[in-house]
Amino acid sequence: MTDSPGSLEAIEGPDRVTPVRRQWVVDVLCEAYAEDQIGVHELESRLDDANRARFESELAPLVSDLILPDAGKLSAEGRIGPLQRADSLRVPDRQLSVGFWSGRVRKGSWVPAHRITAVALQGGVELDFREAAFGPGIVEVRAFAVMGGIQVIVPPDLRVEASGFAIMGGFEERTESHSGGDVGGPLLKIRGFALMGAIQIDVRLPGETSREAKSRRRKERRARAG
């Protein structure tokens, strides 16, 4: 273990557990199980303790005996951390992202507007909120995919409400491991419609690729199944 922001050193203390810290411990435990450092019964016991923990100091003993080279990498690459916040004066009222026979990507450090309209017409739109700075209140995303695709990527510590429907297309929400954020924190509301197209909502850690996210979810499913 290294003394990085997401390491054991950082999660010790009296502060209450945050969703992102709890998720980090769960990821470490699943990785330890995959590396045969702990057995399935020990994994189940520690996962139960992690889910019940109220303070971050309670998480420390759950990973203190594990040696995971990748654990420091999770933090070094910025894969965990609190949501960035923006002053309300910096938050635009509206934003438009259109992919028409082409692609439109919003990612990295940006400030989402109160209302975002994403349109993919025979093209693609990607909205990556993992490094975004959120103002107070609600961010509403209206997504329309017509013979195109829209991908929305959110971090584990962001509250998300999603609804939508598709005609000869797909509306997919990959949020099985999503732990959500604080009740008083930012809320992302997604409303989508796909016509011969696709809208996908995916939860990933900052810096995590689609393949790495799939691998993490498989490990978590195996851990829960025992």
Residues 6 or more apart from 204 whose CB is under 8 A from it? Answer: 130, 153, 154, 155, 210, 212, 213
Q: How many beta carbons lie within 10 A of that of residue 167, not counting itself?
A: 9
Q: Tell me the per-residue pLDDT of 18-59, one tens digit each, with 9 for 90 and over.
A: 766 777 788 788 877 877 888 888 888 888 888 888 887 787
What percent of the chain is predicted at pLDDT more than 70? 78
The pTM is what? 0.64
> How confident is residue 218, by pLDDT bands cut at 50, 70 and 90?
confident
Q: Tell me the per-residue pLDDT of 88-138, one tens digit each, with 9 for 90 and over.
A: 888 999 999 999 999 999 998 899 999 999 999 999 999 999 989 999 889
Report yes or no: 66 and 25 within 8 Å, Cβ to Cβ.
Answer: no
3-state secondary structure the chain: CCCCCCCHHHHCCCCECCHHHHHHHHHHHHHHHHCCCCCHHHHHHHHHHHHHCCEHHHCHHHHCCCCCHHHHHHHHCCCCCCCEECCHHHCCCEEEEEEECCEEEECCCCCCCCEEEEEEECCEEEEECCCCEECCCEEEEEEEEECCEEEEEECCCCEEEEEEEEECCEEEEECCCCCCCCCCCCEEEEEEEEECCEEEEEECCCCCCHHHHHHHHHHHHHHHHC
pLDDT: is 184 or 27 the higher one? 27
Report yes or no: 66 and 32 within 8 Å, Cβ to Cβ.
Answer: yes
pLDDT of residue 180 exceeding 50:
yes
